[in-house]
Amino acid sequence: MSDLSQIVKAYDVRGTVPDQWDERVAEALGAAFTQVLNGSGEPGEAVLIAHDMRATGPGLAAAFAAGVRAEGRTVIELGLASTDMLYYASGSLNLPGAMFTASHNPAQYNGIKMCRSGARPIGQDSGLAEIRDRAQARLDEGGSAPAGEPAAPAERRDLLPDYAAYLRKLVDLASIRPLKVVVDAGNGMGGYTVPTVLGDAALPALPLEIVPLYFELDGTFPNHEANPLDPANLVDLQRAVVEHGAEIGLAFDGDADRCFVVDERGEPVSPSAITALVAARELAKHPGSTVIHNLITSNAVPEIIREHGGEPVVARVGHSFIKAEMARTNAIFGGEHSAHYYFRDFWFADTGMLAAMHTLAALGEQSQPLSVLASEYERYVASGEINSTVRDQAAKVAEVRAAYPEAEADELDGLTLRFPDGAWFNLRASNTEPLLRLNVEAPTMERMMALRDEVLDRVRR
Protein backbone atom coordinates (compact mmCIF):
# COMPACT_ATOMS: atom_id res chain seq x y z
CA MET A 1 0.00 0.00 0.00
CA SER A 2 1.43 3.39 -1.01
CA ASP A 3 2.23 5.74 1.87
CA LEU A 4 1.69 9.20 0.39
CA SER A 5 3.32 10.91 3.36
CA GLN A 6 6.62 9.74 1.87
CA ILE A 7 6.14 11.59 -1.41
CA VAL A 8 3.88 14.56 -0.63
CA LYS A 9 6.34 17.22 0.48
CA ALA A 10 5.86 20.76 1.75
CA TYR A 11 5.32 22.26 -1.72
CA ASP A 12 4.81 19.40 -4.16
CA VAL A 13 4.80 15.67 -4.82
CA ARG A 14 8.22 14.09 -5.29
CA GLY A 15 9.44 10.48 -5.27
CA THR A 16 10.99 7.62 -7.19
CA VAL A 17 9.00 5.78 -9.85
CA PRO A 18 7.71 3.06 -9.63
CA ASP A 19 8.76 2.05 -6.12
CA GLN A 20 7.39 5.12 -4.27
CA TRP A 21 4.59 6.01 -6.67
CA ASP A 22 3.14 5.00 -10.01
CA GLU A 23 0.17 5.59 -12.33
CA ARG A 24 -2.27 4.20 -9.79
CA VAL A 25 -1.12 6.82 -7.29
CA ALA A 26 -1.21 9.51 -9.99
CA GLU A 27 -4.86 8.67 -10.74
CA ALA A 28 -5.76 8.97 -7.06
CA LEU A 29 -3.94 12.29 -6.80
CA GLY A 30 -5.71 13.61 -9.90
CA ALA A 31 -9.10 12.70 -8.44
CA ALA A 32 -8.23 14.19 -5.04
CA PHE A 33 -6.88 17.38 -6.63
CA THR A 34 -10.14 17.82 -8.53
CA GLN A 35 -12.24 17.12 -5.45
CA VAL A 36 -10.41 19.88 -3.58
CA LEU A 37 -10.88 22.26 -6.52
CA ASN A 38 -14.58 21.47 -6.74
CA GLY A 39 -15.02 21.83 -3.00
CA SER A 40 -13.43 25.27 -2.95
CA GLY A 41 -15.39 26.68 -5.86
CA GLU A 42 -12.39 26.90 -8.17
CA PRO A 43 -13.43 28.58 -11.44
CA GLY A 44 -13.43 26.85 -14.80
CA GLU A 45 -14.33 23.34 -15.87
CA ALA A 46 -10.86 22.22 -17.01
CA VAL A 47 -7.47 21.35 -15.57
CA LEU A 48 -4.20 22.06 -17.36
CA ILE A 49 -1.69 19.19 -17.37
CA ALA A 50 1.91 19.30 -18.61
CA HIS A 51 5.06 17.23 -18.19
CA ASP A 52 8.82 17.57 -18.63
CA MET A 53 11.18 15.28 -20.59
CA ARG A 54 11.27 12.40 -18.08
CA ALA A 55 10.24 9.05 -19.59
CA THR A 56 7.63 8.43 -16.87
CA GLY A 57 5.94 11.81 -17.39
CA PRO A 58 3.40 10.99 -20.14
CA GLY A 59 2.06 7.90 -18.36
CA LEU A 60 1.76 9.59 -14.98
CA ALA A 61 0.13 12.65 -16.56
CA ALA A 62 -2.40 10.47 -18.41
CA ALA A 63 -3.33 8.63 -15.22
CA PHE A 64 -3.70 11.93 -13.34
CA ALA A 65 -5.94 13.16 -16.18
CA ALA A 66 -8.12 10.07 -15.78
CA GLY A 67 -8.58 10.96 -12.11
CA VAL A 68 -9.49 14.53 -13.06
CA ARG A 69 -12.11 13.38 -15.57
CA ALA A 70 -13.55 10.89 -13.10
CA GLU A 71 -14.40 13.85 -10.86
CA GLY A 72 -16.15 15.80 -13.60
CA ARG A 73 -13.56 18.16 -15.07
CA THR A 74 -12.12 18.12 -18.55
CA VAL A 75 -8.39 18.24 -19.30
CA ILE A 76 -6.34 20.59 -21.44
CA GLU A 77 -3.16 18.70 -22.27
CA LEU A 78 -0.14 20.98 -22.83
CA GLY A 79 2.34 18.17 -23.51
CA LEU A 80 5.99 19.05 -23.03
CA ALA A 81 6.49 22.24 -21.01
CA SER A 82 8.72 23.95 -18.51
CA THR A 83 7.19 24.59 -15.11
CA ASP A 84 6.92 28.31 -15.77
CA MET A 85 5.09 27.52 -19.02
CA LEU A 86 2.48 25.73 -16.91
CA TYR A 87 2.27 28.80 -14.68
CA TYR A 88 1.87 31.00 -17.76
CA ALA A 89 -0.98 28.79 -18.95
CA SER A 90 -2.65 28.83 -15.53
CA GLY A 91 -2.33 32.60 -15.30
CA SER A 92 -3.35 33.52 -18.82
CA LEU A 93 -6.25 31.04 -19.01
CA ASN A 94 -7.23 31.40 -15.33
CA LEU A 95 -7.31 27.62 -14.84
CA PRO A 96 -5.80 25.25 -12.26
CA GLY A 97 -2.90 23.08 -13.39
CA ALA A 98 -0.53 20.23 -12.66
CA MET A 99 3.07 20.02 -13.86
CA PHE A 100 4.75 16.62 -13.87
CA THR A 101 8.41 17.15 -13.02
CA ALA A 102 10.98 16.30 -10.41
CA SER A 103 12.89 19.50 -11.15
CA HIS A 104 16.62 18.90 -10.51
CA ASN A 105 16.27 15.41 -9.00
CA PRO A 106 17.92 12.36 -10.64
CA ALA A 107 16.31 10.38 -13.44
CA GLN A 108 14.44 7.83 -11.31
CA TYR A 109 12.37 10.61 -9.68
CA ASN A 110 9.21 12.30 -10.84
CA GLY A 111 6.74 14.62 -9.14
CA ILE A 112 3.85 17.04 -9.46
CA LYS A 113 3.69 20.78 -8.90
CA MET A 114 0.06 21.82 -8.58
CA CYS A 115 -1.53 25.25 -8.68
CA ARG A 116 -4.94 26.84 -8.55
CA SER A 117 -6.24 29.18 -11.24
CA GLY A 118 -4.09 32.25 -11.79
CA ALA A 119 -0.97 30.19 -10.89
CA ARG A 120 -1.79 30.44 -7.19
CA PRO A 121 0.37 27.99 -5.26
CA ILE A 122 -0.77 24.81 -3.55
CA GLY A 123 1.32 23.78 -0.54
CA GLN A 124 0.80 21.84 2.67
CA ASP A 125 -1.18 24.70 4.23
CA SER A 126 -3.13 25.61 1.10
CA GLY A 127 -4.65 22.33 -0.04
CA LEU A 128 -1.82 19.83 -0.53
CA ALA A 129 -2.37 18.08 2.80
CA GLU A 130 -6.06 17.62 1.97
CA ILE A 131 -5.16 16.29 -1.49
CA ARG A 132 -2.78 13.80 0.14
CA ASP A 133 -5.38 12.61 2.62
CA ARG A 134 -8.12 12.24 0.01
CA ALA A 135 -5.81 10.36 -2.35
CA GLN A 136 -4.62 8.10 0.48
CA ALA A 137 -8.21 7.24 1.35
CA ARG A 138 -8.95 6.44 -2.28
CA LEU A 139 -5.92 4.13 -2.48
CA ASP A 140 -6.76 2.45 0.83
CA GLU A 141 -10.26 1.73 -0.51
CA GLY A 142 -8.77 0.03 -3.55
CA GLY A 143 -9.11 2.80 -6.10
CA SER A 144 -6.86 2.37 -9.12
CA ALA A 145 -6.21 3.68 -12.59
CA PRO A 146 -8.63 2.44 -15.26
CA ALA A 147 -7.49 -0.61 -17.21
CA GLY A 148 -6.15 -0.09 -20.71
CA GLU A 149 -5.41 3.17 -22.46
CA PRO A 150 -7.05 6.22 -20.86
CA ALA A 151 -9.49 8.24 -22.94
CA ALA A 152 -8.04 10.98 -25.12
CA PRO A 153 -7.77 14.38 -23.45
CA ALA A 154 -10.56 16.82 -24.16
CA GLU A 155 -8.17 19.27 -25.79
CA ARG A 156 -4.52 19.64 -26.73
CA ARG A 157 -2.84 23.05 -26.88
CA ASP A 158 0.64 24.28 -27.72
CA LEU A 159 1.25 27.45 -25.71
CA LEU A 160 5.01 27.75 -26.28
CA PRO A 161 4.70 30.55 -28.88
CA ASP A 162 2.28 32.51 -26.68
CA TYR A 163 4.53 32.03 -23.65
CA ALA A 164 7.54 33.31 -25.60
CA ALA A 165 5.66 36.33 -26.95
CA TYR A 166 4.42 37.23 -23.46
CA LEU A 167 7.94 37.17 -21.98
CA ARG A 168 9.22 39.28 -24.87
CA LYS A 169 6.65 41.95 -23.95
CA LEU A 170 7.94 42.09 -20.37
CA VAL A 171 11.64 42.56 -21.22
CA ASP A 172 12.86 44.39 -24.33
CA LEU A 173 15.98 42.70 -25.68
CA ALA A 174 15.74 44.02 -29.23
CA SER A 175 17.84 47.15 -28.63
CA ILE A 176 20.68 45.76 -26.46
CA ARG A 177 24.24 45.39 -27.74
CA PRO A 178 25.12 42.05 -29.36
CA LEU A 179 25.86 39.31 -26.82
CA LYS A 180 27.25 35.82 -27.13
CA VAL A 181 25.40 33.63 -24.63
CA VAL A 182 26.24 30.05 -23.67
CA VAL A 183 23.19 28.19 -22.38
CA ASP A 184 23.47 24.85 -20.57
CA ALA A 185 20.04 23.22 -20.55
CA GLY A 186 21.31 20.06 -18.86
CA ASN A 187 19.14 17.97 -21.24
CA GLY A 188 16.16 19.56 -19.50
CA MET A 189 13.30 21.79 -20.57
CA GLY A 190 15.50 24.81 -21.22
CA GLY A 191 16.46 23.02 -24.42
CA TYR A 192 12.80 23.23 -25.43
CA THR A 193 11.99 26.80 -24.38
CA VAL A 194 15.21 28.78 -25.01
CA PRO A 195 15.22 28.39 -28.82
CA THR A 196 11.69 29.78 -29.03
CA VAL A 197 11.95 32.53 -26.41
CA LEU A 198 15.34 33.85 -27.52
CA GLY A 199 15.51 32.77 -31.15
CA ASP A 200 12.07 32.18 -32.67
CA ALA A 201 12.03 33.24 -36.32
CA ALA A 202 8.37 34.21 -35.91
CA LEU A 203 9.33 36.89 -33.38
CA PRO A 204 11.59 39.93 -33.96
CA ALA A 205 15.25 38.92 -34.17
CA LEU A 206 17.35 39.52 -31.04
CA PRO A 207 21.04 40.51 -31.01
CA LEU A 208 21.94 37.25 -29.27
CA GLU A 209 24.26 34.49 -30.44
CA ILE A 210 23.21 31.39 -28.50
CA VAL A 211 25.81 28.66 -27.96
CA PRO A 212 23.79 25.59 -26.87
CA LEU A 213 24.97 22.95 -24.43
CA TYR A 214 22.91 19.79 -23.93
CA PHE A 215 19.68 21.01 -25.54
CA GLU A 216 18.60 17.45 -26.42
CA LEU A 217 15.68 16.49 -24.17
CA ASP A 218 16.78 13.44 -22.21
CA GLY A 219 15.38 12.58 -18.80
CA THR A 220 18.31 10.25 -18.08
CA PHE A 221 20.62 13.32 -17.90
CA PRO A 222 23.54 11.73 -19.77
CA ASN A 223 25.91 14.69 -19.38
CA HIS A 224 25.30 15.90 -15.82
CA GLU A 225 22.40 16.32 -13.43
CA ALA A 226 20.19 19.29 -14.24
CA ASN A 227 20.94 20.84 -10.85
CA PRO A 228 23.01 24.02 -11.23
CA LEU A 229 22.98 24.52 -7.44
CA ASP A 230 25.74 21.87 -7.33
CA PRO A 231 28.99 23.51 -8.52
CA ALA A 232 30.03 20.27 -10.26
CA ASN A 233 27.17 20.76 -12.72
CA LEU A 234 28.39 24.22 -13.75
CA VAL A 235 31.86 23.08 -14.87
CA ASP A 236 30.93 22.48 -18.52
CA LEU A 237 29.20 25.86 -18.77
CA GLN A 238 32.13 27.68 -17.15
CA ARG A 239 34.58 26.08 -19.55
CA ALA A 240 32.41 26.82 -22.59
CA VAL A 241 31.94 30.49 -21.69
CA VAL A 242 35.71 31.02 -21.61
CA GLU A 243 36.39 28.89 -24.71
CA HIS A 244 33.79 30.73 -26.81
CA GLY A 245 34.64 34.18 -25.48
CA ALA A 246 31.04 34.63 -24.42
CA GLU A 247 29.77 37.56 -22.37
CA ILE A 248 27.53 35.40 -20.15
CA GLY A 249 26.52 31.83 -19.40
CA LEU A 250 23.08 30.61 -18.29
CA ALA A 251 22.29 27.25 -16.67
CA PHE A 252 18.73 25.98 -16.20
CA ASP A 253 17.55 23.19 -13.95
CA GLY A 254 15.51 20.24 -15.24
CA ASP A 255 12.13 21.98 -15.43
CA ALA A 256 13.70 25.35 -16.29
CA ASP A 257 12.04 27.31 -13.51
CA ARG A 258 15.46 28.22 -12.06
CA CYS A 259 18.34 29.96 -13.81
CA PHE A 260 21.97 30.30 -12.69
CA VAL A 261 24.36 32.85 -14.19
CA VAL A 262 28.08 32.69 -15.00
CA ASP A 263 30.12 35.78 -15.94
CA GLU A 264 32.58 36.19 -18.83
CA ARG A 265 35.42 34.74 -16.73
CA GLY A 266 33.42 31.59 -16.02
CA GLU A 267 32.77 32.67 -12.43
CA PRO A 268 29.31 32.12 -10.92
CA VAL A 269 27.20 35.18 -10.13
CA SER A 270 25.34 34.59 -6.87
CA PRO A 271 21.53 34.39 -6.95
CA SER A 272 21.56 37.19 -4.34
CA ALA A 273 23.32 39.47 -6.84
CA ILE A 274 20.79 38.54 -9.53
CA THR A 275 17.96 39.21 -7.06
CA ALA A 276 19.37 42.67 -6.32
CA LEU A 277 19.98 43.42 -10.01
CA VAL A 278 16.45 42.45 -11.08
CA ALA A 279 14.95 44.25 -8.08
CA ALA A 280 16.70 47.46 -9.12
CA ARG A 281 15.33 47.11 -12.66
CA GLU A 282 11.78 46.42 -11.49
CA LEU A 283 11.89 49.29 -8.98
CA ALA A 284 12.95 51.65 -11.76
CA LYS A 285 9.64 50.84 -13.47
CA HIS A 286 7.57 50.72 -10.27
CA PRO A 287 9.11 53.10 -7.69
CA GLY A 288 8.29 52.48 -4.06
CA SER A 289 7.15 48.89 -4.57
CA THR A 290 7.71 45.98 -2.22
CA VAL A 291 10.31 43.34 -3.03
CA ILE A 292 10.37 39.96 -1.27
CA HIS A 293 13.54 38.06 -0.42
CA ASN A 294 14.07 35.03 1.75
CA LEU A 295 16.18 35.27 4.86
CA ILE A 296 19.16 33.45 3.34
CA THR A 297 19.78 36.02 0.62
CA SER A 298 22.68 38.39 1.16
CA ASN A 299 22.41 41.47 3.37
CA ALA A 300 23.15 43.35 0.16
CA VAL A 301 19.67 42.53 -1.16
CA PRO A 302 17.58 44.57 1.32
CA GLU A 303 20.26 47.30 1.28
CA ILE A 304 20.03 47.68 -2.50
CA ILE A 305 16.23 47.48 -2.47
CA ARG A 306 16.11 50.40 -0.03
CA GLU A 307 18.72 52.36 -2.02
CA HIS A 308 16.46 52.09 -5.07
CA GLY A 309 13.42 53.30 -3.17
CA GLY A 310 11.80 49.94 -2.54
CA GLU A 311 10.50 48.23 0.57
CA PRO A 312 12.23 44.92 1.35
CA VAL A 313 10.17 42.22 3.07
CA VAL A 314 11.72 38.97 4.28
CA ALA A 315 9.94 35.62 3.91
CA ARG A 316 10.59 32.00 4.75
CA VAL A 317 12.43 29.78 2.28
CA GLY A 318 10.10 28.02 -0.18
CA HIS A 319 7.95 29.04 -3.12
CA SER A 320 4.57 28.74 -1.36
CA PHE A 321 5.76 31.14 1.37
CA ILE A 322 7.28 33.57 -1.12
CA LYS A 323 4.20 33.56 -3.37
CA ALA A 324 1.85 34.03 -0.43
CA GLU A 325 3.87 36.97 0.87
CA MET A 326 4.04 38.52 -2.59
CA ALA A 327 0.29 38.28 -2.98
CA ARG A 328 -0.27 39.73 0.50
CA THR A 329 2.00 42.73 -0.13
CA ASN A 330 1.42 43.07 -3.90
CA ALA A 331 5.19 42.86 -4.30
CA ILE A 332 6.67 43.60 -7.70
CA PHE A 333 9.38 40.92 -7.44
CA GLY A 334 10.79 38.23 -5.19
CA GLY A 335 14.08 36.33 -5.13
CA GLU A 336 15.52 33.33 -3.31
CA HIS A 337 19.08 32.14 -2.67
CA SER A 338 18.23 28.98 -4.66
CA ALA A 339 17.75 31.00 -7.89
CA HIS A 340 13.96 31.02 -7.87
CA TYR A 341 12.72 34.42 -9.09
CA TYR A 342 9.08 35.57 -8.82
CA PHE A 343 7.34 38.37 -10.72
CA ARG A 344 4.08 40.20 -10.18
CA ASP A 345 3.80 40.50 -13.96
CA PHE A 346 3.93 36.68 -14.07
CA TRP A 347 1.07 36.05 -11.63
CA PHE A 348 3.52 36.13 -8.68
CA ALA A 349 4.97 32.86 -10.01
CA ASP A 350 8.62 31.92 -10.50
CA THR A 351 10.26 31.89 -13.90
CA GLY A 352 13.94 31.33 -14.57
CA MET A 353 13.54 32.51 -18.15
CA LEU A 354 12.28 35.96 -17.21
CA ALA A 355 15.13 36.41 -14.71
CA ALA A 356 17.59 35.39 -17.43
CA MET A 357 16.09 37.95 -19.80
CA HIS A 358 16.38 40.72 -17.20
CA THR A 359 20.05 39.81 -16.69
CA LEU A 360 20.69 39.84 -20.46
CA ALA A 361 18.97 43.23 -20.71
CA ALA A 362 20.99 44.70 -17.83
CA LEU A 363 24.22 43.45 -19.38
CA GLY A 364 23.34 44.52 -22.91
CA GLU A 365 22.16 48.01 -21.99
CA GLN A 366 25.67 49.06 -20.87
CA SER A 367 29.23 48.33 -21.96
CA GLN A 368 30.81 46.81 -18.87
CA PRO A 369 31.50 43.08 -18.63
CA LEU A 370 29.21 41.08 -16.39
CA SER A 371 31.88 40.62 -13.71
CA VAL A 372 32.04 44.40 -13.24
CA LEU A 373 28.27 44.83 -13.39
CA ALA A 374 27.69 42.04 -10.87
CA SER A 375 30.28 43.43 -8.46
CA GLU A 376 27.92 46.35 -7.82
CA TYR A 377 25.54 43.85 -6.22
CA GLU A 378 28.08 41.58 -4.46
CA ARG A 379 29.04 43.27 -1.18
CA TYR A 380 29.70 40.40 1.20
CA VAL A 381 31.26 36.95 1.28
CA ALA A 382 28.93 33.93 1.52
CA SER A 383 29.60 30.27 2.26
CA GLY A 384 26.86 28.79 0.13
CA GLU A 385 24.63 26.11 1.63
CA ILE A 386 26.42 23.38 3.61
CA ASN A 387 24.55 20.25 4.71
CA SER A 388 25.29 18.14 7.79
CA THR A 389 23.58 14.90 8.79
CA VAL A 390 22.14 15.34 12.29
CA ARG A 391 19.69 13.00 14.02
CA ASP A 392 18.29 15.37 16.66
CA GLN A 393 18.12 18.59 14.70
CA ALA A 394 16.18 20.61 17.29
CA ALA A 395 18.63 19.77 20.08
CA LYS A 396 21.61 20.70 17.94
CA VAL A 397 20.07 24.02 16.91
CA ALA A 398 19.39 24.82 20.57
CA GLU A 399 23.00 23.96 21.43
CA VAL A 400 24.32 26.30 18.73
CA ARG A 401 21.97 29.08 19.87
CA ALA A 402 23.27 28.82 23.45
CA ALA A 403 26.85 29.17 22.24
CA TYR A 404 26.27 32.73 20.95
CA PRO A 405 24.38 34.69 23.61
CA GLU A 406 25.69 37.98 22.21
CA ALA A 407 24.03 37.47 18.80
CA GLU A 408 20.63 38.78 17.77
CA ALA A 409 18.36 35.79 17.10
CA ASP A 410 15.60 35.37 14.53
CA GLU A 411 13.53 32.16 14.27
CA LEU A 412 11.38 32.96 11.23
CA ASP A 413 12.90 29.97 9.41
CA GLY A 414 15.26 27.87 11.48
CA LEU A 415 17.75 29.88 13.51
CA THR A 416 19.37 33.05 12.22
CA LEU A 417 22.02 34.71 14.38
CA ARG A 418 23.32 38.19 13.51
CA PHE A 419 26.49 39.69 14.96
CA PRO A 420 27.46 43.34 15.54
CA ASP A 421 30.14 43.24 12.82
CA GLY A 422 27.56 42.37 10.11
CA ALA A 423 28.28 38.64 10.01
CA TRP A 424 25.35 36.23 10.26
CA PHE A 425 24.44 32.60 9.81
CA ASN A 426 21.26 30.61 9.35
CA LEU A 427 20.87 27.03 10.52
CA ARG A 428 17.67 25.26 9.51
CA ALA A 429 16.42 21.71 9.31
CA SER A 430 15.53 20.04 6.03
CA ASN A 431 11.82 19.30 5.56
CA THR A 432 12.50 15.85 4.14
CA GLU A 433 15.91 14.59 5.34
CA PRO A 434 17.86 14.35 8.64
CA LEU A 435 19.96 17.33 7.62
CA LEU A 436 20.83 20.73 9.02
CA ARG A 437 21.53 23.35 6.35
CA LEU A 438 24.04 26.11 7.17
CA ASN A 439 24.47 29.42 5.35
CA VAL A 440 27.06 31.96 6.53
CA GLU A 441 27.79 35.52 5.35
CA ALA A 442 30.32 38.06 6.56
CA PRO A 443 32.02 41.28 5.46
CA THR A 444 35.32 39.50 4.75
CA MET A 445 36.45 36.07 3.60
CA GLU A 446 38.45 35.57 6.81
CA ARG A 447 35.46 36.27 9.05
CA MET A 448 33.14 34.10 6.97
CA MET A 449 35.51 31.13 7.01
CA ALA A 450 36.17 31.43 10.74
CA LEU A 451 32.45 31.62 11.60
CA ARG A 452 31.59 28.84 9.15
CA ASP A 453 34.20 26.47 10.57
CA GLU A 454 33.24 27.29 14.14
CA VAL A 455 29.54 26.59 13.58
CA LEU A 456 30.20 23.44 11.56
CA ASP A 457 32.42 22.15 14.32
CA ARG A 458 29.57 22.57 16.80
CA VAL A 459 27.00 21.04 14.44
CA ARG A 460 29.09 17.99 13.58
CA ARG A 461 30.68 17.46 17.00
Active-site residues, by number, are: 103
Whether 89 contacts 56, CB under 8 Å: no
Quote the DSSP letter at residue 145: P
Residues 37-51 as b/e (b if ≥16 CB within 10 A, e otherwise) read beeeebeeebbbbbb
Amino acid type, 285: K
Task: Please state, in angstroms and rounded to a whole number, the distance separating the CA atoms of residues 47 and 6.
Answer: 25
Side-chain half-sphere exposure of 207, counting CA atoms within 13 A: 14
Cβ-contact 286, 136 below 8 angstroms = no
**CB distance 67 to 34 below 8 Å:** yes
H/E run at residue 111: strand 109-116
Q: Is 230 exposed, middle or buried (0-12, 13-18, 19+ CB in 10 A)?
A: exposed
DSSP annotation string for 14-55: EEETTTT--HHHHHHHHHHHHHHHHHTT-SSSEEEEEE-S-T
d(CA 390, CA 394): 9
Gap between the terminal Cα atoms of the chain: 39
